[in-house]
Structure 1
Amino acid sequence: MTGSNMKQNTPLEQAIASVQQRNPELKAFVWLPEHYPETPGGLPLSGIPVAVKDLIDTKDMPTGYGCRLFQGHLPAEDAKIVRQLKAAGATIFGKTATTEFAWRHPAATVNPWNYRHTPGGSSSGSAAAVAAGIVNIALGTQTVGSVIRPAAYCGVVGFKPTYGRVSVEGIQPLAGSLDHTGFIVSDCYYASLCQQVIVDNQTTVSHPVPVKPRRVRLYMPAHWQSADEELKSWFSGIIGWLNEQGIECRPLEAADKAPEWLAALDTILAYEACQGLSAKIGADLSAVGKATSALIQQGSEISSEVYQQAITFMQQCRRQRDDYFHDSDVILSLAAPSVAPQGLSSTGDASFCAPWSFLGLPAMTLPGGISAQRLPIGLQLIGHSMKESDLISMACWFESRLPRIKAPLIGGGSDRDKS
C-alpha cells in the first residue's frame, strides 16, 4: 500500500502504518488497495483517509455486501457519497467489514477494547477502524441501530443525520424506508466536518461551537428496566450532573409509543428486506446466513396490506416527530441497554437506537465513560429533524465535559486519556 503523494507523517501514511499493525487481529478491513491516487489539495477533506463500509459501492474497490455470493464484485460506479468524498479531496482508504447485507449475520471483526466482545453491527469494521485509530472518519449505514450501536460499543462518536439528508444512491438497501447513511468518527470535530461537507454541501468549513442545551427530554421507555443496572446508574448520574448545571431534565412523554414504533419498524424492515434481497440473491437461500434467510422468510409472510398500514403509521409519526420534543432542545438516552456483549455471534441490542431510525430523526452517540468490564458506555443524543448543526453543537458541549477515553493497543484492557 503506497501513494505517490505521501509525505512522512501524513494522515494517509499514519493510517497505512496503523492498519498494517492492527488489521490482522481486528479484521476491520476486508479490502485495501495497493496504491493510493493523488488527491487535490486545498479542499475541505484534502489528505484525509476515509474508510467505506462494504455495503457502499466503489468502482475501483470490490464491494461484497458482507456476502460470499458477491466476493470480488466490482460495481460500475461509485455510490454518490463516495463521489462527494472524492470531490472534497478525501482519500478512500479501504472497505470495512459489514454484517451480511447489513443484517445480523456477523462479520469477523472484533472489538478493539476487548477481542472477546462484539464491535456491534452492522457497521462493525467502520467502528473498529476508528476506535483503533486507523482512520478518523468511516462511513456506516443504519436501518435500525447500525451506526449508533457499534460506535457506542467501540467508544467513538456515531452520527446519523435525518432520514434522506445523505444520499443512499449506490448503497445496497436493506429497507429503503428506514435506511440512513451515517458516519463513525473519532470526535465531534470530524462529525461536524462530515456534516458541513456531505450533509450541507459546503465548500468551506469551520470549527463547531459548543452550545449548552437549556432543556432536555429523557428517553426511558418501558423496556428501560431491562438495561444493565450499571448503565442505568451511570445515566442517572448524568441526569444529576445536568441538573447541577441548571439544565432542565424531563421524561419524554412520547416514550410510551415505543412499542408501536418498534412493531411497525419490524414490519417495514422485514417486508422491504424480503422484496429487495429476494431479487438480489434469488430463491436459493443456502448461500446466505441463517439470520438473512430468516429475515427473508419473515418478510414473505407479511401481506401488502399490513405493510402499507405500517408505512402509513410511520409517515404519520414522522410528521409529528418534532412535536415530541415539546420545548426541549435535545433528547438523551443510553445508546444501548448494555456495553458490548461478550462473544461474536451477536451484534447486540439495537432497541434504544430503533425509534430514531423509525422517526428519521438525527442522532449521535458520544463515549461517556468506562464500565466495570473496562468497556465504553455511549450517551445518545437525538436532535430535531434537519437540525444536524444544532445537534453537533450540543454534542460538542457534552464531549468537552465527559471523560476522554481511547481503546487499548491490544484488546484486553483500556487506557484513559486524562488530558
Structure 2
Amino acid sequence: MDETWRLTATAARAAIAAGRLAVEDLVEACLARIAARDPAVRAFVAHEPDSVRAAARRADPSAPLGGIPVGVKDVLDTADLPTGYGSPIYAGFRPRADAAAVAWTRRAGGVVMGKTVTTEFAVRTPGPTRNPLNLAHTPGGSSSGSAAAVADFMVPVAFGTQTAGSIIRPAAYCGIVGYKPSFGMIARAGMKVMSESLDTIGVMARSVADCALFAGAVAGRDLGDPERAPSRPPRIGLCRSPSWPAALPETVALWDDVAAALARAGAALVERELPASFGALVEAHPTIMVMETAHALGWELTTCQPLLSAALKERHLPALAWPRERLDEALKVAQGCILAFGPALEGVDVLVTPSAPGEAPEGIGWTGDPAFNFLWTTLRVPCVTVPAGLGPRGLPLGIQIVGRQGDDAAVLAWARWVQAALG
C-alpha cells in the first residue's frame, strides 16, 4: 500500500531531490489522505483539489520547500482561497493578496493544500475540528485544523499562530512538534492580527527538522540542521513555572520521567524557577491580550456585533471601557520580565517546562488551558514542544523547550536532543 503521505517534509524533499519521488505524486497522496480522513477530522475549512494539482505542476522541485504540501491557518490571507478568520462575518471573503508568510511559502516551492480551521479570530469560539487520535477530544486551539492535519498525515507541515498557547498546546495534544519562533521572526503582514504585542506566526510538523526547514524557508533564515548531533549534552533548567498548580496528575508524573531520562542521556540538570516578579504575568498577559484584541476588532464590534459569538462579546466588549493606563501597566510588567529573562537563564542553554496541563480535554467546545504557554508568549522567546509520552486515556503529552529570544536555531537543536533523550 502506498503511504507516501506518511513522509516528513525533510524525507519527502530528499526523495524529490534524488528523483525518487515526483511532486505530483506526493501531492496526490496527501489529497487522497484529506479525502479519506477530513470528513471525520474536519481540519480544513477551504480546500480546492484542482487548484492544488495545478500548483503542484508549477512547483519548483529545486526550491527550498521543493513541492512540500503546506496547510495554512485561516487567519492568514490567501489570494486564491477564501479567508474567513473563523467568523461568519467573513464568509466567502477573498483577499486580493497572500499574506507575506504564504507568499514566501509559494516562492520557496511550497504547495498550499488549503486553509485550516481556526477558532473565531484565533481567540474565542472553537470550530468543528476533532483530535484525529480520538475524535471525542479537542485538538486544541486556536490552530486546531493545522495541528489535526499534520497529526493525521494530511500535510507534513502547517502554519499556526500563537497569542497565548495556540501553537504549542494543540501540537502537544495531537502528538506532533510545534514551534513558536521568537516574536516577529516570521512577518505578520496579511495576518488578521489581534494582539500587536503577542501574536506570533509559527509552524507545526512531525519532526523538529521539518519545523526548521519550513520556518527557515519562510523567514529567510538559516535555522540549522537539528538532526546534527551537538558536541556536548545541554545544560537544562527544569522549570515548573508559576503555572505548575495547573498541572494534572499525568503531567506531574511525566515531569519526573522526563528529568530521569534527560539525566540518563547526560544533560546537566538544575532546578530553575523564575523570579517572583514573573508571577505578575498571570494578570498582565490576559489584560494585554483582551484589550489589544478588543481594539483590533474595532470594525467587527462596531458594525457586525450580531455575527460575533456571545463568548467573544462577553470577553471583549467590557475591555473597551477599561482605562488605557491598565494596558500601559500590563505592557510595563511584560517589558520588565522580558528584560529579566536573560539573567534568569544564566548558566543553562534552555529551559524544559510542560507544554500543557495534561491530555487533550474531552469534547470540542473548549480547546484547553494555555496555562503553560502564555508566559513564554509574553516573553517573546522561542518555544518548541516535542512528544513526550501518553496520558491515562492514551492521548499524547508534550514537553516544551524554551530559550533566549533570537536563539531559535539553538533552541531547535536542543529540542531535538531532548526528543531523542526521551525516546
Q: Choose from 279, 298, 321 the match for 1:301.
A: 321
Q: Distance in 2 between matches of 1:387 and 1:52?
A: 25
Q: Identify the residue that residue 250 of structure 2 maps to in structure 1.
A: 230
Which SS does the other structure have where 1:10 is aligned?
Answer: helix
Q: Does 1:32 align with 2:47?
A: yes
TM-superposition CA deviations, 1:192-222 (whole Å, max 9, x none): 20243223435x9856413354321122134
Mapped contact 1:273–1:299 kept (Cα < 8 A): no
Identity %: 33
Moved more, 263-272 or 8-17: 8-17
TM-superposition CA deviations, 1:255-313 (whole Å, max 9, x none): 63443112111111111111011224524422111221122224213211111111122
Q: Distance in 2 between matches of 1:175 and 1:314?
A: 14
Structure 2 vs 1, CA of residues 206 and 370 (structure 1 numbering), >3 Å: closer, same or farther?
closer
Aligned-pair CA distance for 1:324? 1.6
Q: Does 1:377 align with 2:397?
A: yes
TM-superposition CA deviations, 1:160-188 (whole Å, max 9, x none): 00011111110001111100000011111
Q: Identify the residue that residue 273 of structure 1 maps to in structure 2.
A: 293
Aligned-pair CA distance for 1:315? 2.0
Structure 1 segment 187-266 matched on structure 2, within 5 A:
187-201=207-221, 208-211=227-230, 213-254=233-274, 256-266=276-286
Q: Identify the residue that residue 85 of structure 2 maps to in structure 1.
A: 65
The runs of 5 or more residues in structure 1 that have no matched partner are: 1-5, 404-419
Higher helix fraction: Structure 1 or Structure 2? 2
Structure 1 segment 6-405 matched on structure 2, within 5 A:
10-33=25-48, 34-36=50-52, 37=55, 38-201=58-221, 208-211=227-230, 213-254=233-274, 256-403=276-423
Q: Identify the residue that residue 410 of structure 1 maps to in structure 2.
A: none
Q: Distance in 2 between matches of 1:398 and 1:206?
A: 15
TM-superposition CA deviations, 1:76-111 (whole Å, max 9, x none): 111000111011011111000000000120110000
Q: Identify the residue that residue 6 of structure 2 maps to in structure 1.
A: none
Length, aligned pairs only: 397
Which SS does the other structure have where 1:253 is aligned?
Answer: coil
Mapped contact 2:203–2:215 kept (Cα < 8 A): no
Structure 2 vs 1, CA of residues 8 and 392 (structure 1 numbering), >3 Å: closer, same or farther?
closer
Mapped contact 2:180–2:202 kept (Cα < 8 A): yes
Structure 2 vs 1, CA of residues 46 and 356 (structure 1 numbering), >3 Å: closer, same or farther?
same
Structure 2 vs 1, CA of residues 269 and 225 (structure 1 numbering), >3 Å: closer, same or farther?
closer
RMSD: 1.9
Q: Which amino acid aligns with 1:19?
A: I
Moved more, 104-113 or 35-44: 35-44
Mapped contact 2:162–2:201 kept (Cα < 8 A): yes
Structure 1 segment 397-416 matched on structure 2, within 5 A:
397-403=417-423
Structure 2 vs 1, CA of residues 11 and 322 (structure 1 numbering), >3 Å: closer, same or farther?
farther
Q: Which amino acid aligns with 1:346?
A: W
Moved more, 316-325 or 379-388: 316-325
Mapped contact 1:59–1:78 kept (Cα < 8 A): yes
Q: Which amino acid aligns with 2:250?
A: E
Which SS does the other structure have where 2:297 is aligned?
Answer: helix
TM-superposition CA deviations, 1:199-246 (whole Å, max 9, x none): 3435x9856413354321122134413311122111111112222333
TM-score by length of 2: 0.90
Q: Distance in 1 between matches of 2:23 and 2:267?
A: 46
Moved more, 140-149 or 392-401: 392-401
